[in-house]
Structure 1
């Protein structure tokens, strides 16, 4: 008999709206539910059909436009008033932006899904938010958008040196690239141990109840895993950059965080696109066959259970080095359509 808390059955959206709870109403109000339940039919593709290629510059344009807008607005306000912001004001401001950008990204990704379809779409629709997991999804999304900015604001924001937004612009490409690699190193080993160690697997198995995830399931997990995903792993990446001497302040983190969040949400969409995780180190990672595309993490969910592969979530560098990289199916090089690239709308 299946334990009810492990059920992925999703029927609540077809019940009487008057019976919905606060969390269900909020998901519908924010309009962030998966594309598979939209009125418009989602395209279905055979696995041998050519998969569209998404050029990196579309993703860079999308990320940087969101990352820099809050900085520009803060700079304008501080310059006009002459008053730097207290750390609490910085945390509230960027926490709200973090949530708003995430919601906007889910909207855009869903529109793309309606155009290009999804991986393994000839066999399965994307999973919806399960009846038993609506509250968990809402709690996870709220926690991520609250505690990540809070952690870094408390660690890195200094009202004297950060009176106005001042990323280390000259260092920024190196910072963004190194942050992703460092984050993935710690994530790789934590994630691999969660799969291979019985005492840890019990905290990770909830996340793997979804075999065809959607962005809302990115942090569908037990509390123990949430703590590592939201706090511990980003903290380890920050300490790593600090130890090696790369300049790192709150605004550097904000921009790095936008690259990471974009990758995490996109990596759980299952979009049928050949899109590499955006990073300044992308060309080098591709040369090393260590880049990560959407299908890599999708296969981790679809085929991985306790014993798995593709443990990295931002690149395959550590999977390649430690022999845990899996083979692609639809994103094989010979199946990628480079002649007719896909696009990512700016808004």
Structure 2
């Protein structure tokens, strides 16, 4: 394990105007970047971490992401977008296929033929958690292979010690709300398995596209507001306890912000563009 304690540190990289350098890739003179997070929990051996720290471990990238890297002047890699869409399809489809096959294989006169809403909630919640774990591993793999922006100036930083429990709690609330919200807003019917033209409309790519654009629209104005008005910043500042967060660390927030981001903004987007129950599953993954 990388033996690094993140305290109040700074990295200064002056620019020598007399040298022939590419100023596009070099920070301005005497820029100081402070690492505010204190993350001693990552130095513990795995067996000595508490329950919440062990859960947070799966969000860690490789050790090299947490130290300053040599400057890479190459342009960002061009990753094939269809490759990523194929990856998403492989991750999204199994849950829908499993439920559809269940309804097809189990006889209609069987007590176990339909899925009670509680059963559907547990199944799709576990599927969503599995998807998130795979997504985190997918992203941290790219971090390891391709690097990250600004890594020549400062490394990624860990979630602070005092927020590890809160981070895991926020992730749990997020996954529960997204799963339950999709079933409720989508009008889950235990007698309707996933199928095109029924619980998934033929126009689902357009519907989901409009829903995501609407979601981003409301999120942008909310996010712009908390960075613009000082009286709102106090509700957003915890989110910035890490300067360069991993995907899961970005969920860390105060109570009010969680209510807005996890509940209100998706609800508002759903009022503008309602989705059917299994369309929500596709949109949320």
Normalising by the residue count of structure 1, what TM-score does the alignment of the two structures yield? Answer: 0.65
Question: Which of 56, 63, 66 pairs up with 2:81?
Answer: 56
- In the aligned structure 1, how far is the partner of 2:123 from the partner of 2:140? 26
List per-residue Cα deviations over 1:182-206 (Å, max 9, x = no partner). Answer: 0011111111111222332111111
Q: Structure 1 residues 92 and 14, CA, compared in 2 at 3 Å: closer, same or farther?
A: same
1:144-223 matched pairs, under 5 angstroms: 144-159=174-189, 163-166=192-195, 167-223=199-255
- In the aligned structure 1, how far is the partner of 2:81 from the partner of 2:131? 19
Question: Which of 27, 30, 34 pairs up with 2:56?
Answer: 27
- In the aligned structure 2, how far is the partner of 1:14 from the partner of 1:59? 34
Q: 2:271 aligns to what?
A: 239
The 8 Å contact of residues 42 and 115 in structure 1, kept in 2 or not, is answered as no
Q: 1:273 aligns to what?
A: none
The 8 Å contact of residues 67 and 154 in structure 2, kept in 1 or not, is answered as no
1:77 maps onto 2:77 in alignment: no
Tell me the number of residue pairs that the alignment of Structure 1 and Structure 2 aligns.
244
List per-residue Cα deviations over 1:304-325 (Å, max 9, x = no partner). Answer: xxxxxxxxxxxxxxxxxxxxxx
Larger Rg: 2
The gaps in structure 1 that reach 5 residues or longer are: 243-247, 259-347
Q: CA deviation at 1:42?
A: 8.2
**Which protein, 1 or 2, shows the higher relative CO under an 8 Å CA cutoff with sep ≥ 6?**
1
The 8 Å contact of residues 36 and 125 in structure 1, kept in 2 or not, is answered as no
The 8 Å contact of residues 78 and 84 in structure 1, kept in 2 or not, is answered as yes
- In the aligned structure 2, how far is the partner of 1:91 from the partner of 1:17? 32
- In the aligned structure 1, how far is the partner of 2:188 from the partner of 2:121? 12
1:114 maps onto 2:144 in alignment: yes
- In the aligned structure 1, how far is the partner of 2:234 from the partner of 2:88? 34
The 8 Å contact of residues 34 and 128 in structure 1, kept in 2 or not, is answered as no
List per-residue Cα deviations over 1:285-335 (Å, max 9, x = no partner). Answer: xxxxxxxxxxxxxxxxxxxxxxxxxxxxxxxxxxxxxxxxxxxxxxxxxxx
Q: CA deviation at 1:19?
A: 4.7
The gaps in structure 2 that reach 5 residues or longer are: 1-7, 9-34
Q: CA deviation at 1:249?
A: 0.7
List per-residue Cα deviations over 1:12-45 (Å, max 9, x = no partner). Answer: 12136565321012233xx33233467xx98946
Q: CA deviation at 1:133?
A: 1.3
Mean CA deviation greater in 54-63 or 151-160: 151-160
The 8 Å contact of residues 168 and 252 in structure 1, kept in 2 or not, is answered as yes
1:96-135 matched pairs, under 5 angstroms: 96-135=126-165
SS in 2 for 1:143: helix
The 8 Å contact of residues 43 and 117 in structure 1, kept in 2 or not, is answered as no
- In the aligned structure 2, how far is the partner of 1:254 from the partner of 1:237? 15
Q: CA deviation at 1:102?
A: 0.3
RMSD of Structure 2 on Structure 1 (CA) = 2.3
Q: CA deviation at 1:7?
A: 4.9
Q: 1:251 aligns to what?
A: 278
The 8 Å contact of residues 74 and 164 in structure 1, kept in 2 or not, is answered as yes
Q: 2:4 aligns to what?
A: none
Q: CA deviation at 1:62?
A: 1.2
- In the aligned structure 1, how far is the partner of 2:45 from the partner of 2:129? 28
SS in 1 for 2:156: coil
Where does structure 1 differ by over 6 angstroms across 4 or more consecutive aligned residues? none
Q: 1:92 aligns to what?
A: 122
SS in 2 for 1:144: helix
